[in-house]
Amino acid sequence: MTIMKTRITELLGIQYPIIEGGMQWVGRAQLAAAVSNAGALGMVTARTQPTPDDLRREIERTRELTCKPFGVNLTLSLTANDVNYDGWIDAIIQGDVRIVETAGNNPQPVIARLKAHGIKVIHKCTSVRHALSAERYGADVISIDGFEAGGHCGEDDVPALIMIPALGKVLKIPFIASGGIANGRSMAAALALGADGVNMGTRFMLTWESAIHNDIKAALLAATERDTTLIKRTLKRTARFFTNGVSQAIVALEQRPGGATYDDLKHLLSGDRGLAGLESGDITAGLVCASQVIGLVDDIPTCAELVTRMVAECREGLEQALNRFDR
């Protein structure tokens, strides 16, 4: 059995240092279990579920499908400071989940409560300064998003080629590279730059076990690296989505004289609208989160096929780089 050993595999008890990104509407039991069964770390997205009770049931379903470690993503609101997460945290604790990925707003209060129950915390950041804050708050792992990432990619526009080694110079805890990871060669590059593992959202979304409609998968499969759009830049909440009529309409409203407020965009940003598109297959119905890696994806494998292939490609890429150096 092939194994890879990094600080991430040892800390999280997984075979390969590959983690499924926490994806709204996509991170469900079937996909998370398939990723974990492949030797990586699957991730159930908490707030995909309507209520904490629904999350409890989704955790139970995941555990029925895998005996391997998996995590839960809990995204904290970027726009409200008075959201109560107690119910979600209770569901995570009662489900005996041992790994949680936090993202979004200041995670300090949530980290403290999770760690009091022995839960390992991964915090997703988009800058070195935020990563250092999360380290001080007690996070066990940082997931660092480069500018290529889908979803919220920060305001600094720093790509992974710069972000990863910059973080490696100052961070003491393990970290994983997120954004721009699509295959074993990009994984090899991330490891060579100093990361302890990789995080993938869009690539796992385009697998057989992902529950989104096949027409959405086909549209993303046909896309290039130029087919994403940055929205909410004027609101300082920059996020990357697939280029369609909805993302373009948001940008048009932001660019009009006087700009746009969140309320002006709310009908286009609707999560329910995005979910309807993912379920119906209508790529034009709502926002579809996607990284620039869609330009590197050309098939819909099973999670097991993808992870096995990535590990082989990573090893091959590292060996080829060493061989070139030895010449």
DSSP string, 46-59: GGGSSSHHHHHHHH
Percent of the chain residues past pLDDT 90, beyond the cut: 91
In the predicted model, what is the mean pLDDT of residues 281-292? 97
Look at residue 79 in the predicted model and tell me its pLDDT: 66
Look at residue 80 in the predicted model and tell me its pLDDT: 63
Torsion from C-alpha of 113, 119, 120, 121, nearest 10 degrees: -30
pLDDT in tens, 162-214: 999 999 999 999 999 999 999 999 999 999 999 999 999 999 999 999 999 99
pTM of the model: 0.96
What 3-state DSSP class applies to 126? coil
pLDDT band of 321, cuts 50, 70, 90: confident
User: Higher-confidence residue: 78 or 267?
Assistant: 267
In order of 20, 131, 189, 204, 220, the CA distances from 40 in angstroms are: 8, 23, 18, 11, 23
In the predicted model, what is the mean pLDDT of residues 140-145? 98
pLDDT in tens, 6-50: 999 999 999 999 999 999 999 999 999 999 999 999 999 999 999
Whether 327 shows a pLDDT value over 70: the answer reads no
Q: Which residues pair with 176 in a beta bridge?
A: 143, 197
Q: Judging by beta carbons within 10 Å of its beta carbon (0-12, 13-18, 19+), is residue 224 exposed, middle or buried?
A: exposed
End-to-end C-alpha distance for the chain, whole angstroms: 31
Whether 1 shows a pLDDT value over 90: the answer reads no
What 3-state DSSP class applies to 27? coil
**Maximum CA pair distance of the chain?**
60
In the predicted model, what is the mean pLDDT of residues 297-320? 96
Whether 122 shows a pLDDT value over 80: the answer reads yes
Is residue 207 a contact partner of residue 300, using CB atoms and an 8 Å limit?
yes
Strand bridging mode 197-200 / 239-242: unpaired
In the predicted model, what is the mean pLDDT of residues 63-76? 97
DSSP string, 224-292: -TT-EEEE-TTTT--EEEE-SHHHHHHHHHHHSTT---HHHHHHHH-HHHHHHHHHHT-TTSS--B--G
pLDDT band of 258, cuts 50, 70, 90: very high
Look at residue 281 in the predicted model and tell me its pLDDT: 97
| Helices 52-65, 86-94: crossing angle, 10 deg rounding | 30
- The CA distance from 111 to 191, in Å, is 26
Give the residue among 150, 171, 147 at the shortest CA–CA distance from 160: 147
Look at residue 325 in the predicted model and tell me its pLDDT: 72
Give the residue among 320, 24, 6, 19 at the shortest CA–CA distance from 181: 19
